[in-house]
Amino acid sequence: MSATETLLTQILTQLESLRANQERLEAKIENTRTHGTPPLRPVTQLRERGGESPSVYPVGDGHASSPTTSVPHLSLSSSTPSAASQSLGQEKEREKALYPSRVILTTYPDQHGIKPYSLQWGAKDARARGPIICSRLMSSIKQRNAIGAHAGSYSIYRALAIAQGTLDPFHKPSYHLTEPPVPIPPQESWFDPTKIVSFDPWGHLVPQVFRSEVEDKGLDIRPSIAVTKAHIKLSEVDETARKGALTIDGKIVLKSRPLLNPDGSQSNADPGVELVVSKAAVEPVWYLPGVAERFGIPESLLRRALFEDTGGMYPELITRPDIKVFLPPIGNLTVYIFGPPEFMYDESKELTLRVHDECNGSDVFGSDICTCKPYLVFAIEECVRTAQRGGVGVCVYFRKEGRALGEVTKYLVYNLRKRGGDSADKYFKSTEQIAGVKDMRFQALMPDVLHWLGIKKIDNMISMSDMKYNAIVQSGIPILKRYDLPDYLIPPDSRVEIDAKIAAGYFTSGKKITEEDLVKTVGRAWEEADH
């Protein structure tokens, strides 16, 4: 036997010994963590119950694969491990430190040791309702009563931060001094399990109402709502104030601080105004039975659709029918309140509402192909005027980019429209040709936030959307008046959008538009503008 072969044999013998020791150690760790949890039932038993077969064996099964037991890369050119081998070994050690147990692909209701924290959606107080627990940390994993992760799509960034070593996965947040500076107190609608099904109404009070569960029991329970105060500044509102169409009252509308010149000296230019607001960021937390009922579909179908169309990302949607709460990987919503927040649930006060769905191109970058930013600014100004009359204004901003089709699809539709002749009669057909549907913004869940705020009637709704109007009214909140965007605020190129919507049945206080009229409304072609 050559020296190289002898060396290889010795290395392989040592590796086999190390692997055996490692497997024994992992078994001990797993036994300690699970307090003697026996293996889960075989997959054949699951099939006999009519359940879904997992793609790999669940944790605890003797055949489960472990990412920490693979044989390291061998270099036969030298008896000293290469730099690459050392680096790989270090990464493996870090992986083992972060995730010492076997992969937990899924769990089952009757698994030994699994005992979800009691949750009664719509209960009369927070403690009776119970906290939302979705953490997979070992301190909470057996008491989880929710599927998914906090922060929606941003949970992927958290995973990257942990993998890179910039975030300790066991970090315990300190919520000292983070409580809401303005009250959003419990409303009767919080205790009706049919009124709020798309987020946790107690989400902003978690550090206060579930303190003992966090501090005494060590459970990882996190807020899903945050409430704060701010000043907002928009150049369009500055211009409205300069024209005298918005009053500077020193309470809701403030004069901005003086501007500075490039040399640091104070400028004589008009600095414009700032608006005082209260605002809340709300993460989605879906109570699946309530969401299914809202859409008129079986809960089992909802779960299967969510599982399939997220690429099987959340297998517990199938294997854990006992867990009724899901934190979906979608964007959140933000509420902006102009005037005293307590006026929202005072029916004697005038209330103006705008429900606005995200449009990054227009809202942020001012694209003139749609009316989104003009409508949003107009609504903000109307909310301010209502507050100045002694009422309150509310703007709710949903992350539903491109009618919930996404920005990529929206831009593809733009290309088709501009190349195919951008006339209003083709507006919705262009979207359907690419996306298969003209609008995916199902508004059935939208009124939840209004019930959370305690809104019982709306004096003025700034919207053309019948879908939004119908969803709100059908949820039990009357709307006394609705009005659309004034013609003088509509950019010429977005007339295509407005006329197409009016012809399709959207609300308008102006003239009606027929299908024959739509052919005459044509947007700017690419050739007419510099690109």
Q: Which two tokens stand for residue 279?
A: 């605002």
Give percent of the chain above pLDDT 70: 81
Residue 1 counted as domain residue:
no
Q: In this predicted model, what pLDDT tens digit does every residue of 480-526 receive, in sequence order?
A: 999 888 888 888 877 878 777 777 678 777 777 767 667 667 777 76
Report whether pLDDT(362) > 60. Answer: yes
DSSP 203-264: TTSHHHHTHHHHHTT------SEEEEEEEE--HHHHHHHHTTSS---SSSEEEPPPPB-TTS
161 and 191 in a single domain? The answer is: yes
401 and 464 in a single domain? The answer is: yes
Sheet with 325-327, strands from edge to edge, namely: 146-148, 325-327, 286-287
At residue 137, the pLDDT reads: 83
Pairwise CA distance, residues 396 & 402, whole Å: 17
Higher-scoring residue by pLDDT: 25, 129: 129
Residue 281's pLDDT band, with cuts at 50, 70 and 90, is very high
Residue 158 counted as domain residue:
yes
Pairwise CA distance, residues 480 & 353, whole Å: 11
Residue 5's pLDDT band, with cuts at 50, 70 and 90, is low
180 and 236 in a single domain? The answer is: no
Domain that holds residue 305: 126-222+288-321
- The mean pLDDT of 320-343, rounded to a whole number, is 96
At residue 16, the pLDDT reads: 61
In the chain, what are the helix, strand and coil shares in percent, each to the nearest 5? 40, 10, 50
User: What's the half-sphere exposure (Cβ side, CA atoms, 13 Å) at 5?
Assistant: 2
SS3 124: coil
Report whether pLDDT(34) > 80. Answer: no
* Neighbour tally for 64: CB within 10 Å: 18
Residue 307 DSSP label: H
Pairwise CA distance, residues 130 & 118, whole Å: 6
SS3 450: helix
Average pLDDT of the chain is 84
214 and 337 in a single domain? The answer is: no
* Cβ-Cβ contacts under 8 Å for 57 (sequence gap 6 or more): 40, 43, 63, 64, 65
> Do the beta carbons of residue 190 and residue 170 sit within 8 Å?
no
At residue 398, the pLDDT reads: 95
Residue 157 counted as domain residue:
yes
> Do the beta carbons of residue 288 and residue 23 sit within 8 Å?
no
At residue 66, the pLDDT reads: 32
At residue 105, the pLDDT reads: 81
At residue 21, the pLDDT reads: 58
422 and 518 in a single domain? The answer is: yes
At residue 440, the pLDDT reads: 86
Judge whether 439 counts as a catalytic residue: yes
Q: What is the CATH classification number for the domain harbouring 463? A: 3.40.50.10990
Higher-scoring residue by pLDDT: 114, 64: 114
388 and 412 in a single domain? The answer is: yes
Residue 64 counted as domain residue:
no
Q: Which two tokens stand for residue 218?
A: 């060590």
350 and 422 in a single domain? The answer is: yes
453 and 335 in a single domain? The answer is: yes
Residue 199's pLDDT band, with cuts at 50, 70 and 90, is very high
Residue 115 counted as domain residue:
no
* Cβ-Cβ contacts under 8 Å for 370 (sequence gap 6 or more): 359, 361, 362, 494, 497
By DSSP bridging, strand 286-287 and strand 225-232 are unpaired
Number of domain units in the chain: 2
At residue 17, the pLDDT reads: 63
* Cβ-Cβ contacts under 8 Å for 65 (sequence gap 6 or more): 56, 57, 102, 103
383 and 301 in a single domain? The answer is: no
The catalytically annotated residue of 19, 41, 304, 441 is 441
> Do the beta carbons of residue 193 and residue 325 sit within 8 Å?
no
At residue 68, the pLDDT reads: 33
Secondary structure of 376-443 in HEC code, one letter for each residue = HHHHHHHHHHHHHCCCEEEEEEECCCCCCCCHHHHHHHHHHHHHHCCEHHHHHHHHHHHHCCCCCCCH
Higher-scoring residue by pLDDT: 288, 98: 288
178 and 275 in a single domain? The answer is: no
Residue 70's pLDDT band, with cuts at 50, 70 and 90, is very low
Pairwise CA distance, residues 359 & 367, whole Å: 9
Higher-scoring residue by pLDDT: 46, 337: 337
Tokens 């501007």: give the residue. Answer: 259
Judge whether 304 counts as a catalytic residue: no
Ranges 39-48, 76-85, 300-309: which has the least confidence: 39-48
At residue 520, the pLDDT reads: 64
Residue 306 counted as domain residue:
yes
Q: In this predicted model, what pLDDT tens digit does every residue of 116-127 receive, in sequence order?
A: 999 999 999 999
299 and 423 in a single domain? The answer is: no
The predicted model scores a pTM of 0.81
Residue 249's pLDDT band, with cuts at 50, 70 and 90, is very high
* Cβ-Cβ contacts under 8 Å for 374 (sequence gap 6 or more): 485, 489, 490, 491
Could you report how far apart the first and last alpha carbons of the chain are, in Å?
73
167 and 245 in a single domain? The answer is: no
* Neighbour tally for 114: CB within 10 Å: 17
Residue 166 counted as domain residue:
yes
Pairwise CA distance, residues 355 & 364, whole Å: 17
Q: In this predicted model, what pLDDT tens digit does every residue of 372-413 receive, in sequence order?
A: 999 999 999 999 999 999 999 999 999 999 888 999 998 898
Residue 63's pLDDT band, with cuts at 50, 70 and 90, is very low
Ranges 12-26, 324-338, 367-381, 479-493: which has the least confidence: 12-26
At residue 222, the pLDDT reads: 95
Residue 451 counted as domain residue:
yes
Question: Which of the residue ranges 134-148, 158-172, 217-231 has the most confident prediction, judged by mean pLDDT?
Answer: 217-231
- The mean pLDDT of 180-196, rounded to a whole number, is 96
The catalytically annotated residue of 363, 439, 448, 499 is 439
Report whether pLDDT(433) > 60. Answer: yes
